[in-house]
Structure 1
Amino acid sequence: MSHLTQPNINPFAFRINDAVRYSGLSRSTLYSLESRGELRMIKAAGRRLILRSDLEAFLASNRRWAAGLSSGAVSNEP
């Protein structure tokens, strides 16, 4: 019996819940960043999406998040 596996996909954009898992940031933080103009969200097919490149650029410009992302352990401390 064969097992179906999901291929390793690198998405172009994230839904909010996926961006939360990818970045370690909370939903409320992501929405707050958008309202302050620090992170762009787009609407497509009735959903809010965050482009992977925008999220990675934000994380890279805020090294405490980027360091946690690369090590796998995100800290919410300043």
Structure 2
Amino acid sequence: MQTNQPLRTAFGQRIRNLRKEQGISQEAFADKCGVMRTYMSRIETGAANPSLEAAKVIADGLGISLSDLLQGL
């Protein structure tokens, strides 16, 4: 996924793509991760800069490892 876009934006797009591949709505995924849908939206658009702990929760919510989530960034 090597691009010239900011890391936060690339990370958010990766989350969105993986979530959509699993057929999970943003609202359902946010609930699964225990965060507000608006926060998940901000993460997916690159407006928020999630902590490492939040990234781990997201990876767990997707059923993948943190290293897999970060792959290609």
TM-score interval w.r.t. the shorter chain? 0.3 to 0.5
More helix by share: 2
Structure with max Cα Rg: 1
Query: What TM-score comes out, normalization by structure 2 length?
Result: 0.40
Greater RCO (CA < 8 Å, at least 6 residues apart): 2
Query: What TM-score comes out, normalization by structure 1 length?
Result: 0.38
More strand by share: 1
